[in-house]
Amino acid sequence: MKKGIMIIGHGSRYSYNKWIMEEQKRRLEERGFDNIYIGFNETTYPLVNDALCEMASEGIDYVVAVPFFVASGLHITRDIPGKLGIPPGASGGCADVNGMKIEIKYEQPFGNDPALADILSERIDELSGGKGKRSIMVVGHGSRLPHNKDTVTFQAEKLREKGYADVHCAFNEFDEPRVEDVFDELVSNGSDEVIVLPLFISLGAHLKHDIPGKIRLEDGMSEDTFVLDGRSITVRYAEPIGSDPRLTDIIAEKIRRREQA
């Protein structure tokens, strides 16, 4: 049996997502893993099914597929399994790839891992100005399925358990409360500083263009101060989480667990 690893990204018309995936691959190789491939669900190449064909052509017949996603959703439960040749919602199966049988072990996203709260906590401490009333927004993409909202809510609660006060959830689309509604409410309720933590893997259209306007930032800005009714309110917008090396540790643990099973 020849084993291989596929880390799966969402894909984007921007280059950031691909760079993040390549960085995670490099770090896994530094940790001693080999036969690592990258596949994308959409937009970016190679696509998952193309990467799987390449693995089959190189004799790999056992694949641990790890989606580098924050939360589950239709891509995780429906789209990617289909491209891996396993049933929707399955945790694995046997795929037929150009006549070759490949055993697939399919992992889940990492959104409920405690390391995420540690990453977000450090972002808060780095960004905080330390003056006035501070509010924190944990921002998710949103989904027609409940998983993204559950993940964002879970991480917000972990921050409260760490002692951070005034932590709120917000979503860019599909779910409520919406980013702009939460932000306006915090400002109206007297926040002097709003720290916005996007629970996203990498920069893309949502983080670069959609969300900034909803929190009174121009595209490309990570911080600004505006005046409302004589009050100065500072907005601090964190980077996405995908490049953090602790996420590589999460992937590595998932792979080791599958290899030991």
Pairing, β 100-106 against β 92-97 = antiparallel
Say if residue 177 is preceded by a cis peptide, omega within 30 of 0: yes
Q: What are 100's strand-pairing partners? A: 97
Joined together, the tokens standing for residue 197 give 């933590």
Closest C-alpha to 124, from 242, 246, 245, 238? 238
Active-site entry in 10, 141, 147, 206 = 10
Q: Rounded to whole angstroms, how far apart are CA atoms 71 and 91? A: 15
Query: Is residue 12 helix, strand or coil?
Result: coil
In terms of residues, how long is the chain?
261
Q: Rounded to whole angstroms, how far apart are CA atoms 128 and 159? A: 15
Joined together, the tokens standing for residue 40 give 């994308």
Does residue 10 carry a catalytic annotation?
A: yes
Joined together, the tokens standing for residue 70 give 């924050």
Residues recognised as catalytic: 10
